[in-house]
Structure 1
Amino acid sequence: MTQDKDAPLREDIRLLGRLLGDTVRDQQGDASFELVERIRQNSVRFRRDDDHAARKELEGTLDALSREQTIQVVRAFSYFSHLANIAEDQHHIRRSRAHLIAGSAPREGSLAHALALAFADGKTTPATLAGFLGEALISPVLTAHPTEVQRKSILNCQTVIARLLDERDRKQLTPEESEANDEALRRAVLTLWQTRMLRPAKLSVVDEVNNGLSYFETTFLHELPRLYANLEDRLAAADPALGKQELPAFLQVGNWIGGDRDGNPFVTADILEQALAMQASVALRHYLDELHTLGSQLSLALGLVSASDALLTLAQGSPDSSPHRSDEPYRLALAGIHARVAATHRALIGTEPIGHAADHAQPYDSAQALLDDLDVIHRSLVANGSAALARGRLRHLRCAVRVFGFHLAPIDLRQNSDVHERTVAELLEVARPGSAYLNLDETARCALLLEELATPRPLASPHVHYSEEAESELEIFRAAREAHRRYGRNAIRNCIISKTDDVSDVLELALLLKEAGLLRPHESALDVNLVPLFETIGDLENAAGVMERLFSLPLYRKLLEAAGNTQEVMLGYSDSNKDGGFLTSGWALYKAEGELVDVFARHGVRMRLFHGRGGSVGRGGGPSYQAILAQPDGAVQGQIRLTEQGEVIAAKYGNPEVGHRNLEVLVAATLEASRRPESAAPTPPEFLDAMQALSDSAFAAYRGLVYETEGFEQYFWESTVIAEIAGLNIGSRPASRKKGTSIEDLRAIPWVFSWSQCRLMLPGWFGFGTAVKQYLAGHPKDGLARLQAMHKDWSFFTTLLSNMDMVLSKTDLAIASRYAELVKDAELREAIFNRIRGEWQDTVDALLAITGQQELLADNPLLKRSIRNRFPYLDPLNHVQVELLRRHREHGDDERLRVGIHISINGIAAGLRNSG
């Protein structure tokens, strides 16, 4: 009899659903429970059995709900989405452990699989791989965005529930233990129900910083050292000569929260300084906790174990004068280190570390100094027969200090090039009246900027009052210089220029950095990386030309060489998609990467790509493993950064074990993509020509709908939750760059998020159906065969279609049609929705014809299972959200309606998991 591997998942979902139902009955009464249960049953019947009578009954029930009933229903189904996510994550952990226990072959995306592939070529050795990692940089970068919907309190409740489910899996519980676990789960679900899902006030940047830090406390500080140790041990097993070699900090978590000013007026120098201090406090408190525990564990006594002279010297400086520990040098040394870390917290943060009061001691002046002391303990243990003790908690702590330092995570600074331009123009006009910088052409601008960059003389004067915007920009860079002094250079490593159009955009930032002393011309010193961000379709097409001209400047090359001759370039998935649609965006990014590879190779510069991927496919999302492997040859040179955004951060890193797996995937994919054989065949020209033709047609179809159809803007604002997103307490950043309803000014994140909420997912597929129809019409004999070959043999196209398959499976035209009914103009509603419906059908037909699938997700059983389990509980949220939107727009001052809409947004985002 075949084992049903998904049975435990269904059992967990039933268990959590039953506990939630019991909670609703206990807290809200039998009537509320019966209402929720009736809605659930009808939704399941409609979704799984295509029972249209059930749908009619469901819609009738939902439309007749009172305001209070509506809130209860929305809360119940929203919390179920969160609980289903926990059960799914636990099932992924369960299945991964089952594979490992059974000794199954390594799975794609695992370190074991990546290392096996690397060693299979006969040329790669563990030593060469260790050398490769010594020059690598892999960095997921956490970002906040205006549709972030999770509260830290909710995440904490979910963590408790996940831990209790995990306990049931891993242990054989006695009846008493099982009963205690059931009771604890019941309490946890009740706590979740009674925890406010919404924030009472608009989210601040500091709130976002706090939210981001929770993932370091839960996952990164613990799991990154584990991953390093795992990789080091695997390399040592393959080559015993590497047994003592420790890898440098090639895998690091970056952060935008607190440094991303593009369109966010609330990120100031003060906020940056606060974010840096909060991060440092988390890192130092972690070290203090680990040192305290180590002190209780390393109770080694002289006479039973030896100690090095260096270790004894450390012990002599300990503030611990207890006679009971006088012969325990390791404990004494750790007490001294603990005291110095506590003093470092006081010196850097200005407060006592909670729970770690210590005697007076000298603070560390750098993280390296702390690491040096920990290395003394490590070497003494190894030299004196206690190497096993050095491989436990001490090993992980030393790794954490190497990776996280005193700064925890590098914060990137980002600003729009227009702001830099205005600031530089103002500084120049004061220092050189009549320069009229804004009126100069590109050539004249570059000449003037290069002239200023060649001299150490500053432009800004402390005796001049500049505009608020210019002062704010200068203060940010001064704060960055101070951060380097306090926390080390790794605290802020990158400055990103949004909307980079040309070379002058990069030189303007360089000039502002010179004002703060972060660029010093006479030393050819550049303390941070200048990172151009190419976002729109036009920007992507021009990217290689901009970098070509930049590398041709002797002054810039001198700065680059002093910084290690590596240049980072960021590519924006979100705005390119909003600008040109899914297919054209993906193709423009792919071409830009290939062109950049050529330019960098020609100039002898190492390229590091920073991928601005969002959670949804419409913003570059999709599985990270396939996305990295689908990059053009040469685009991943052991160096890659990519953004992690919104609810995707919670999905990937909220659970430590799931987080570990996702970090491992990034390392494995980067290894595989970087070490692709040079003999790999180039992409056939006919594939490239076909892709260009598809892109041209898709671009015309997308632009024709979004930017050229009269009334489309009205349709979008009335048929989605965009107006409510803009008005609710979701994220610190405004939804639009300017006031008004223009789609051009709308941020890409709420654009995509709004389409996800109404279950159309339009940015993730629109235009593909038209493109394929037109291509096949022009190539009736061999067109389909060519597209099928592209899907089979070209990883870029395979990944593109796989992601679109996922998005199409999450669309629901029946639900979307209810949102369309919110559009007041019936003629406009019918014209646009029918157009979208037709394109959806053409896109599905084209996808199935190319892939050979009989239905969507035929090759993705895991996602298919997930949708089958969760969508019957998601559908009611959409139906209720439509009704809430209708009532809210008629009675806009009703706070309870606003609350209901916000909760529904939260629940739908949780159910979709990658909507923002």
Structure 2
Amino acid sequence: MPSLWKPENWSERLAELEARVGDLKEVPLRRDVRSLGMLLGEVLREQAGDELFEKVEALRLSAIRRREAQADGSLVEADKLLQLAVLDANAMPVDTAYYLSRAFAFYFELINLAETNHRKRRRLSLQLSGDKAAQRGSLRGTLRAMRQVGISADEAIEWLRKIFIVPVFTAHPTEIARRSVLTKRRRIGDFLEQLDRIPVPDEELVALEAALTAEITALWQTDEVRSSRPKVADEIKMGLDYYEVSIFETLPSLYREIAAALKSEYEFDIDLSELPLMLGFGSWIGGDRDGNPFVTPDVTREAIADARKRLLSYYDGRIQLIIDLLTTSAQQLPISAEMQAKLDSYLSQLHTGSTPIFGHHFQFELYRRYMVCVHARLLATAGKPAPDQDSLEAVLSALPAYCSAFEFQTDLEILRRSLAENNGLRLAQTLIDPLILLVRTFGLHLHTLDVRQHARVHKKTLEEASAWCAGNAATVAGELSAESRDVIETMRTIAEVKASCSPETIRQYVISGAASVDDVLAVTWLARLGGVEVAGKENECGGDPGLMPVPLFESIEDLRNAPAVCRELWNMPEYRKLLASWNNTQEVMLGYSDSNKDGGMLTSTWEIFRAHRALHEVARECGVRLRLFHGRGGTVGRGGGPTHRSIYSQPVGAFEGQIRITEQGEVLNWKYSDVVLAERNLELMIAASLDALARPNARDPHGHQSGVLLPEWEAAFDQMSASAFDFYRANIIDDPEVLHYFEAGTPVSELEHAKIGSRPARRGGRMSFESLRAIPWVFGWTQSRQLIPAWFGVGYAIEEYAKQPGGMELLCAMMDEFPLFIDLIRNVEMALAKADLGIAALYASLVQDEGLRERVFTKVKTEFERTLKAVLAVTRQKELLEQNRVLAHSIRLRNPYVDPMSLIQVDLLRRKRAGEDTPEVNRAISGTINGISAGLRNTG
């Protein structure tokens, strides 16, 4: 039987890859989806039997018929089909429900992998065609736009020198995938990529298809739901995996692409070694203790040690490769005097008397001898055990460990200069430059680890330790509570890290719930109590950057007060001394998730924008260089959305090129599971930052979306934000019935049973808006297909504003030209497209108080319909996603598979609440959570 991927002829396959527009370019995706679906069907029949497969097909076809009836406007027929499906779902045994959910979830896993592979395929297509500038967010496209409006090559380089972007990985409390499952996903993705090669022999096609089937079988036989809650150590390992999977390999190719783009657009030649460093990496995993009692000082030490171990292991492999390949002989070419002196200095440190150190090893290959010495120092840095006493490695182990990344980088640069001076430039560019780039990026620590704790915990610790002076800091006062002792021990751990060879490992301390100057000063006082030097002592060779307190402004009120708080802080004489030690730089974090939960989507978006702009104004007034840290989530309701659009929509004149952005655990796999995907994601960040700095659109007389905010647009946003805020607060936060509806009518309480994150879902005590975290808030609304945080209040605000003369015309103009408004409306549109109030009504039926249920759901439905109408009016569309057919097709493809899992989940929740609270039911519910998350491409 021929492979499902075998073409009629290979020229057709090439034509698909080269297709620029039209259906032909989507043919490979449809083939992958269809073929993977057939393989899954084969596995289901084999592993679970024909009866389950037929049940899957029946539910799928029923869901498709309902969706088709909806699309045709036959709402009565659609409702009838939904009720029939509900009856079918309610009659299922628990084990059948579980396996059905697994089957649908597996289909989504495969669709997601097919769509990911198609993203890689289209990127390759653009590279082959030389038309990469056509892709939104490409660096080449941004540089071309800059050149066309008269921005010179020197100006472009200067803009690039300003850019420094730090993605900060976090452990998402609703990250659903197990590490073993992620590994299997990557293997399936690799097989799909191999099937894209042109041509592939028939035998290999058959073998690849067999390997795919085997991997799908292995995935089916693997528990997708954890049997126990993951430990923080598991989350640390998952976060570190992405460096080995993609990031180490991605960075050199990304910087080469930047150099190639400069060459292509400006005819500007620049080596990899000459490019400015534009990327760094950070992490919260193992340092974020806000509400997570499992992040202890020992866990923080473990996170740092594991990161360092992964990095040094990678360096070890790269250096061994250089030793193997750099075989240049001194009989052919000399080495530089600088390098000879460094090599002689190493040999003189070994004190072997008259005994030759290398003997016959690398007799004339001085580069290899030099790199063997460098390797020995790196092994000492990693703390590798000494080898056998009489070996060359044992002799070299006497060389000292590197005390800083600067020392390591200096040794590599000496080697590079020698090669460049002696006809070895190509060797330097190929072998040495990529490693130097990685050392510049990762140092000896891999990424910075932020420590985070809540301001109220600091306040409590200070109150308890008010009588504690520096003289008895060697012991922890016995009267301190466990939480306060943890704060002091955490500071001592930071001091311990800063006494090591990589004091830059911890340089930021994030303060959740910051609301005042005292919240920032508390961290400096506690740090000193714990023995931490807060002021920085950096120089050109490295050094300790100190510990910068980073206030995180989260609520709407705190965002509004942030500029005044920072003005007061930055004008304090003692704090100005600290600022001077940090190169007059201050980082401030803006919270998207909690501000959304506190004030709704529209107000959160606008208040973050206003705080962003005002903070930069205050920073300029105070002579401070401001770096903003954007705490964006993976979902729209938590600040998620397309990366390029969000960076570009920053206020004009309020961005200086440096930015840190959280990368939530649930999107890490989507962005960093592959070299090509990681390169695309990081390029988007750099291109968007360059676009936001240079603003070529503003220089083009015919340009659009320059980012300039007209006074009438600002007034409109102010008015809509006030309307949306009052409406949201009155109808969501201040209505006590909503929280009861949320708890009873969504699966939010199932987070405790799903075992999908180390952090508790709330900060303790009974559920309240104050104790409930923003992440489970979004999770519950997302799983129940309501997605309220992503749209509620937007329709009301638009409708109210449109009542004034010319109101809708002005909003349409904003939709054409103002990036922030475009980003807001497109994100709301996507959320509306993913929501389904027919399914949501089934979740609402779980609320036993009929009056309360009707009141809240009617309110939700009314505002949904109003928002839908408003979005269509502002975007001038007849249906959602009319201008994004790719996303519209993806959602249509997924809905018939998500719907059955929602029906099953509702039934299982009903059973559990009726007393059927068994391990089997909880496992089945967790399976539906997994499947719905995969189908909607986010959990919360």
Q: Note if contact 1:583-1:767 (Cα within 8 Å) is conserved in structure 2.
A: yes
Matched, 1:485 2:499: yes
Matched, 1:266 2:294: yes
Please list, as runs of the form range in 1=range in 2, the aligned pairs for 1:452-851 lying within 5 A after superposition: 460=473, 462=475, 464-465=477-478, 466-519=480-533, 527-676=546-695, 682-777=708-803, 779=804, 781-851=805-875
Given the alignment, which residue of 245, 258, 264 partners 1:231? 258
Q: Which moved more, 1:54-63 or 1:183-192?
A: 54-63
> What amino acid is aligned across from residue 806 of structure 1 in structure 2?
M
Give the deviation of 1:421 after TM superposition.
1.1
Give the deviation of 1:793 after TM superposition.
2.1
Give the deviation of 1:528 after TM superposition.
1.9
Matched, 1:36 2:49: no
Given the alignment, which residue of 851, 859, 875 partners 2:883? 859
Q: Note if contact 1:757-1:915 (Cα within 8 Å) is conserved in structure 2.
A: yes
Q: Note if contact 1:713-1:743 (Cα within 8 Å) is conserved in structure 2.
A: yes
Matched, 1:47 2:67: yes
> What amino acid is aligned across from residue 117 of structure 1 in structure 2?
A
Matched, 1:173 2:200: yes
Q: Which moved more, 1:138-147 or 1:305-314?
A: 305-314
Give the deviation of 1:364 after TM superposition.
1.8
Q: Note if contact 2:537-2:546 (Cα within 8 Å) is conserved in structure 1.
A: no
Q: C-alpha distance in 2, partners of 1:506/1:480?
A: 17
Q: Which moved more, 1:533-542 or 1:310-319?
A: 310-319
RMSD: 2.5
Q: Note if contact 1:518-1:526 (Cα within 8 Å) is conserved in structure 2.
A: no
Q: C-alpha distance in 1, partners of 2:226/2:341?
A: 52
Q: C-alpha distance in 2, partners of 1:302/1:15?
A: 57
What's 1:298 paired with?
326
What's 2:8 paired with?
none
Q: Note if contact 2:318-2:435 (Cα within 8 Å) is conserved in structure 1.
A: yes
> What amino acid is aligned across from residue 48 of structure 2 in structure 1?
Q
User: Structure 1, residues 281-314: CA drift from partner, whole Å, max 9, x if none?
Assistant: 1101111122222333223334344433454566
What's 2:353 paired with?
none
Matched, 1:109 2:133: no
Secondary structure, counterpart of 1:385 in structure 2: coil
Q: C-alpha distance in 2, partners of 1:351/1:595?
A: 57
User: Structure 1, residues 427-471: CA drift from partner, whole Å, max 9, x if none?
Assistant: 22344xxxxxxxxxxxxxxxxxxxxxxxxx668453743332222
Residues 1:56 and 1:478: Cα distance change in structure 2 (over 3 Å)? same
Secondary structure, counterpart of 1:4 in structure 2: helix
Q: Which moved more, 1:847-856 or 1:678-687?
A: 678-687
Q: Note if contact 1:252-1:409 (Cα within 8 Å) is conserved in structure 2.
A: yes
Q: Note if contact 2:536-2:547 (Cα within 8 Å) is conserved in structure 1.
A: no
User: Structure 1, residues 766-787: CA drift from partner, whole Å, max 9, x if none?
Assistant: 011222222233x1x3121122
Q: C-alpha distance in 2, partners of 1:351/1:756?
A: 54
What's 1:901 paired with?
925
Q: Note if contact 1:74-1:903 (Cα within 8 Å) is conserved in structure 2.
A: yes
What's 2:895 paired with?
871
What's 1:327 paired with?
364
Q: Note if contact 1:314-1:336 (Cα within 8 Å) is conserved in structure 2.
A: no
Give the deviation of 1:633 after TM superposition.
1.4
Secondary structure, counterpart of 2:108 in structure 1: helix
Secondary structure, counterpart of 1:398 in structure 2: helix
Residues 1:681 and 1:14: Cα distance change in structure 2 (over 3 Å)? closer
Give the deviation of 1:357 after TM superposition.
13
Matched, 1:888 2:926: no
Residues 1:893 and 1:789: Cα distance change in structure 2 (over 3 Å)? same
Residues 1:526 and 1:516: Cα distance change in structure 2 (over 3 Å)? farther
Q: C-alpha distance in 2, partners of 1:247/1:421?
A: 45
What's 1:206 paired with?
233
Unmatched segments (≥5 aa) in structure 2: 1-20, 71-76, 351-356, 539-543, 700-705
User: Structure 1, residues 17-39: CA drift from partner, whole Å, max 9, x if none?
Assistant: 11111111111122222222222
Secondary structure, counterpart of 1:6 in structure 2: helix
> What amino acid is aligned across from residue 379 of structure 1 in structure 2?
R
What's 1:366 paired with?
404
Q: C-alpha distance in 2, partners of 1:521/1:140?
A: 25
Q: Note if contact 1:582-1:764 (Cα within 8 Å) is conserved in structure 2.
A: yes
> What amino acid is aligned across from residue 914 of structure 2 in structure 1?
E
Q: C-alpha distance in 1, partners of 2:477/2:749?
A: 42
Q: C-alpha distance in 1, partners of 2:829/2:534?
A: 51
Q: Note if contact 1:698-1:767 (Cα within 8 Å) is conserved in structure 2.
A: yes
What's 1:375 paired with?
413
Secondary structure, counterpart of 2:150 in structure 1: coil
Given the alignment, which residue of 128, 144, 158 partners 2:171? 144
Give the deviation of 1:624 after TM superposition.
1.1
Q: C-alpha distance in 1, partners of 2:646/2:708?
A: 18
Residues 1:99 and 1:402: Cα distance change in structure 2 (over 3 Å)? same
Secondary structure, counterpart of 1:170 in structure 2: coil
User: Structure 1, residues 207-241: CA drift from partner, whole Å, max 9, x if none?
Assistant: 11111111111121211232123223444664656
Give the deviation of 1:520 after TM superposition.
5.9
Secondary structure, counterpart of 1:649 in structure 2: helix
Give the deviation of 1:142 after TM superposition.
0.8
Q: Note if contact 1:427-1:460 (Cα within 8 Å) is conserved in structure 2.
A: no
Q: C-alpha distance in 2, partners of 1:385/1:182?
A: 48
Give the deviation of 1:883 after TM superposition.
1.4
Q: C-alpha distance in 2, partners of 1:128/1:361?
A: 49
Q: Note if contact 1:342-1:357 (Cα within 8 Å) is conserved in structure 2.
A: no
User: Structure 1, residues 561-597: CA drift from partner, whole Å, max 9, x if none?
Assistant: 1211111110001111111111111111111112112
Give the deviation of 1:487 after TM superposition.
4.4
> What amino acid is aligned across from residue 462 of structure 1 in structure 2?
T
Q: C-alpha distance in 1, partners of 2:536/2:50?
A: 77
User: Structure 1, residues 60-116: CA drift from partner, whole Å, max 9, x if none?
Assistant: 332222111111111111111111111001111111211221222502211111222
Q: Which moved more, 1:868-877 or 1:806-815?
A: 868-877
Please list, as runs of the form range in 1=range in 2, the aligned pairs for 1:325-404 lying within 5 A after superposition: 325-346=362-383, 359=394, 360-362=397-399, 363-404=401-442
Q: C-alpha distance in 2, partners of 1:765/1:820?
A: 18
Secondary structure, counterpart of 1:766 in structure 2: coil
User: Structure 1, residues 112-153: CA drift from partner, whole Å, max 9, x if none?
Assistant: 11222333443442x444344444321111111321111111
Q: C-alpha distance in 1, partners of 2:687/2:368?
A: 38
Q: Note if contact 1:570-1:612 (Cα within 8 Å) is conserved in structure 2.
A: yes
Q: C-alpha distance in 1, partners of 2:273/2:361?
A: 36
Q: C-alpha distance in 1, partners of 2:398/2:897?
A: 57
Q: Note if contact 1:291-1:338 (Cα within 8 Å) is conserved in structure 2.
A: yes
Q: Which moved more, 1:24-33 or 1:716-725?
A: 24-33
User: Structure 1, residues 309-361: CA drift from partner, whole Å, max 9, x if none?
Assistant: 454566676899473643333333333333322222126xx899xxx996435
Secondary structure, counterpart of 1:631 in structure 2: coil
User: Structure 1, residues 469-508: CA drift from partner, whole Å, max 9, x if none?
Assistant: 2221121122112222324132111111111111111111
Percent identity for Structure 1 against Structure 2: 39
TM-score (structure 1 length as normaliser): 0.92
What's 1:25 paired with?
45
Q: Note if contact 1:568-1:610 (Cα within 8 Å) is conserved in structure 2.
A: yes
Secondary structure, counterpart of 1:265 in structure 2: coil
Q: Note if contact 1:288-1:341 (Cα within 8 Å) is conserved in structure 2.
A: yes
> What amino acid is aligned across from residue 281 of structure 1 in structure 2?
K
